[in-house]
Structure 1
Amino acid sequence: MNKRKPLDERRAEIVEAGLSVALREGVESVTVRRVAQEAGISLGTVHYCFDDKDAMLRAMGRSIAMRASEPVIAALEAGPDRRALAEATVDALLVGLKEHQEMRLLTFEFAVSGARTPVLREVAQAHLTQSIAMTREYLQRLADVAQVTWASDIDDLARMTALRIDGIELAWMVDQDDAAAREGFAVLARDVFADMRPELPAG
């Protein structure tokens, strides 16, 4: 007799199955039936864990974002020295990109599919919102560690930062140029850290 798994554990299992299908066959191949088959569970179990396919896809997007953000969150341990924080953040962004490149590529697939397919647009928008929200959370934690505030509105800063990260990552997906990506992240970090108040003394 199969022991019933806790809901959170079952949801995580379904998300992993969905990601496996998406990585192997593409985002548009992710259906409730296909994921159930991949996970070796019934359709009813998937529907019990997620209200619909969109909810499952949103959970997949959050899982991708959480994995990619782990090295950057760990970089906060370098604080409160701002120069050390900036250097650690740049390194972490590149490490996270390289370690999770296939997962990050999936987020771009979600975006393109959402732009092309009205059915997936809401899911793509949810992924974008998640990305910006997680960037905002990181910026707030960064400010707390560095004991600063932001000159700009944090919501505007989070959106700008998230979109610039996406652009740098997408370029790296194409050219695989580590040095160019690191320089891009370094320029972004310089701009973001320049928004901190009080300003860092010269020298």
Structure 2
Amino acid sequence: MNKRKPLDERRAEIVEAGLSVAMREGVESVTVRRVAQAAGISLGTVHYCFDDKDAMLRAMGRAIAMRASEPVLAALDVGPDRTALAEGTVEALLVGLKQNQHMRLLTFEFAVSGARTPVLREVAQAHLKQSIAMTREYLQRLADVAGVRYRTEVGTLARMTALRIDGIELAWMVDQDDEAAREGFAVLARDVFDEMEPV
């Protein structure tokens, strides 16, 4: 007798299937029917797990953001030394980008599709908010580890930092130049660390 999978586990499987469809066929090919087929489950199961397609797409965006942030959050484990923190963050950003390049490309697809298609705009806006929120979380943890605060309001700093990361990553996807990306991340890290002051 088959046991019913827990809801969180089933949702994770659906998200993975959705990401797989999006990477193969593009964001605009992601439909509830297509994802159900890819996951080998019924339409009803997808609808049970997600209220609608937009909810599923937002969950996909969260999954992408979480994967991209894991190496960067792990870089905080080096301790309070600012030089080590800056160097670790730069390398983690590059490693995370290279490990998750197909996922990151999907976030740019979401953004372009959302700008072009009113139906996807809400999803694209949700992804942008998630990216900024993850960056803010990192900046707050960084300040705690380094024992500092920022001169600029952290929400503003998070938005500007997230947008600069996107630009560096997009350029890397075009030119695949690791050194240029590393230098871009290093300049960004320097600018963020210049915002720090003792608590």
Runs of 4+ in 1 over 6 A off after TM superposition: none
1:154 and 1:18 mapped to 2: Cα distance?
Answer: 33
Structure 1, residues 72-104: CA drift from partner, whole Å, max 9, x if none? 010000121011000000000000000100000
What TM-score do you get using the length of structure 2 for normalisation? 0.99
2:97 aligned residue: 97
1:73 and 1:137 mapped to 2: Cα distance?
Answer: 9
SS at match of 2:126: helix
AA partner of residue 58 (structure 2): R
Please tell me whether residue 88 in structure 1 is matched to residue 88 in structure 2: yes
Please, which runs of 5 or more residues in structure 2 have no aligned partner?
none
What TM-score do you get using the length of structure 1 for normalisation? 0.97
1:138 and 1:48 mapped to 2: Cα distance?
Answer: 33
2:162 aligned residue: 162
- Aligned-residue identity in percent: 86
2:9 aligned residue: 9
What number of residue pairs does the alignment pair up?
199
Report matched runs for 1:49-128 at 5 Å.
49-128=49-128
Deviation at 1:26, TM superposition (A): 0.5
Deviation at 1:2, TM superposition (A): 2.7
Decide whether the 8 Å contact of 2:147 with 2:198 is kept in 1.
no
2:2 and 2:23 mapped to 1: Cα distance?
Answer: 29
SS at match of 1:2: coil
2:198 aligned residue: 198
Decide whether the 8 Å contact of 2:90 with 2:189 is kept in 1.
yes
Deviation at 1:198, TM superposition (A): 2.3
AA partner of residue 140 (structure 1): Q
Report matched runs for 1:21-60 at 5 Å.
21-60=21-60
RMSD of aligned residue pairs (Cα, Å): 0.9
